[in-house]
């Protein structure tokens, strides 16, 4: 098994006025390539903080994060932005689509930033929108789609550039439970086909059932890790 993300002694302290909030307290673990990993815990346990420092969205207070062996916690802004563009994808709870753009244009965006030619952008975007079941909604704007459809666009956008790791923070948090399961099934299927790694935050044990590794977080600590396998080479 190949480690793709290593979290070493990660601590995050927020300062609010004179108060210190320890959101993460010396957390260490590894995620392997192809893992579907859920960070599971109640509200305020530190899940989003952990996801955000792993994805390079928030600065760590102490400790280190390695992705593909690269210490992202030591990268400068520009280098980190390039790294994220090349290797990482994101799915958000509130979809974060651009309202003035169609489904197809929203999905194309990561490829625009990567400066891929128009023809390739269209081919890849249509293909992934087909995979999420939206081949008939290419011209629809976000306001003309249901929440479940908007999140399908969000997933297509996260996966279109074929990132090695996709981070998702409560991606089904705004959806009913039936739609949530459909969305989870789509994410899992795409990731499995391409051997991509998923790191997902949830407070919902039903959602965590889709994962092969579940990291239980409580009060900024790891309580336990389910699905941690012994190294087969030993
Ligand atoms: P979760 O995602 O599990 O609900 P968070 O990671 O958002 O939890 O928050 C963990 C703790 O850190 C909470 O006590 C929260 O209030 C605090 N926290 C999160 N973000 C900030 C911030 N920007 N400033 C101050 N405190 C924060
Ligand atoms: Mg959160």
The 10s digit of each residue's pLDDT in 24-50 is 999 999 999 999 999 999 999 999 999
Residue 1: the pLDDT is 82
Average pLDDT over residues 172-201: 96
List all residues whose CB is within 6 A of at least one atom of ligand 1.
14, 16, 21, 23, 41, 43-49
Best probe residue, ligand 1, of 10, 13, 14 (max atoms within 8 Å of C-beta) = 14
Residue having the nearest C-alpha atom to atom 27 of ligand 1: 14
Instruction: Convert the pLDDT of each residue in 57-83 to its tens digit.
Output: 999 999 999 999 999 999 999 999 999
Q: Give the E-state strand segments of the chain in sequence order.
A: 3-16, 19-32, 36-40, 62-67, 70-71, 88-91, 165-169, 197-202, 213-218, 221-226
Residue 229: the pLDDT is 63
- pLDDT over 50 (residue 91): yes
The domains of the chain are located at 3-226
Q: Residue 39: nearest ligand to its CA? A: 1
Average pLDDT over residues 158-163: 97
Task: Show Cβ contacts of residue 26 under 8 Å, excluding neighbours closer than 6 positions.
Answer: 9, 10, 11, 63
Cα(46) to centroid of ligand 2, in Å?
A: 7
- pLDDT over 70 (residue 223): yes
The rounded distance, in Å, linking the Cα atoms of 129 and 127 is: 6
Residue 234: the pLDDT is 40
- pLDDT over 90 (residue 230): no
Q: Which atom of ligand 1 is nearest to the CA of 12?
A: 12
Best probe residue, ligand 1, of 13, 18, 43, 49 (max atoms within 8 Å of C-beta) = 49
Average pLDDT over residues 137-142: 97
Average pLDDT over residues 92-118: 96
> What pTM does this model have?
0.95
Instruction: Convert the pLDDT of each residue in 120-133 to its tens digit.
Output: 999 999 999 999 99
Select from 3.40.640.10, 3.60.15.10, 3.40.50.300, 3.10.129.10 the CATH code of 3-226.
3.40.50.300
Cα(118) to centroid of ligand 1, in Å?
A: 40
């Amino acid at each position: 098994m190949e480690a793709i993300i290593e979290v070493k002694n990660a601590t995050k302290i927020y300062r609010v006025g004179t108060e210190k909030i320890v959101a993460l307290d010396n957390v260490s673990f590894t995620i392997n390539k192809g893992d579907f990993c859920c960070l599971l815990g109640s509200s305020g346990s530190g899940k989003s903080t952990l996801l955000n420092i792993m994805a390079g969205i928030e600065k760590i207070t102490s400790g280190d994060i390695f992705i593909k062996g690269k210490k992202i916690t030591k990268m400068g802004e520009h280098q980190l932005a390039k790294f994220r563009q090349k290797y990482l994808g994101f799915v958000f709870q509130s979809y974060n689509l651009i309202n003035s753009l169609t489904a197809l244009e929203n999905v194309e965006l990561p490829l625009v930033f990567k400066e891929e030619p128009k023809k390739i952008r269209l081919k890849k975007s249509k293909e992934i929108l087909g995979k999420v079941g939206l081949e008939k909604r290419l011209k629809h704007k976000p306001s003309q789609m249901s929440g479940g459809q908007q999140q399908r666009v969000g997933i297509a956008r996260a996966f279109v550039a074929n990132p090695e790791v996709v981070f998702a923070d409560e991606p089904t948090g705004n959806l009913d439970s039936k739609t949530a399961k459909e969305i989870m099934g789509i994410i899992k299927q795409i990731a499995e086909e391409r051997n991509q790694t998923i790191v997902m935050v949830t407070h919902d044990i039903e959602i965590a059932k889709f994962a092969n590794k579940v990291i239980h977080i409580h009060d900024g600590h790891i309580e336990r890790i389910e699905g941690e396998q012994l190294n087969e080479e030993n």
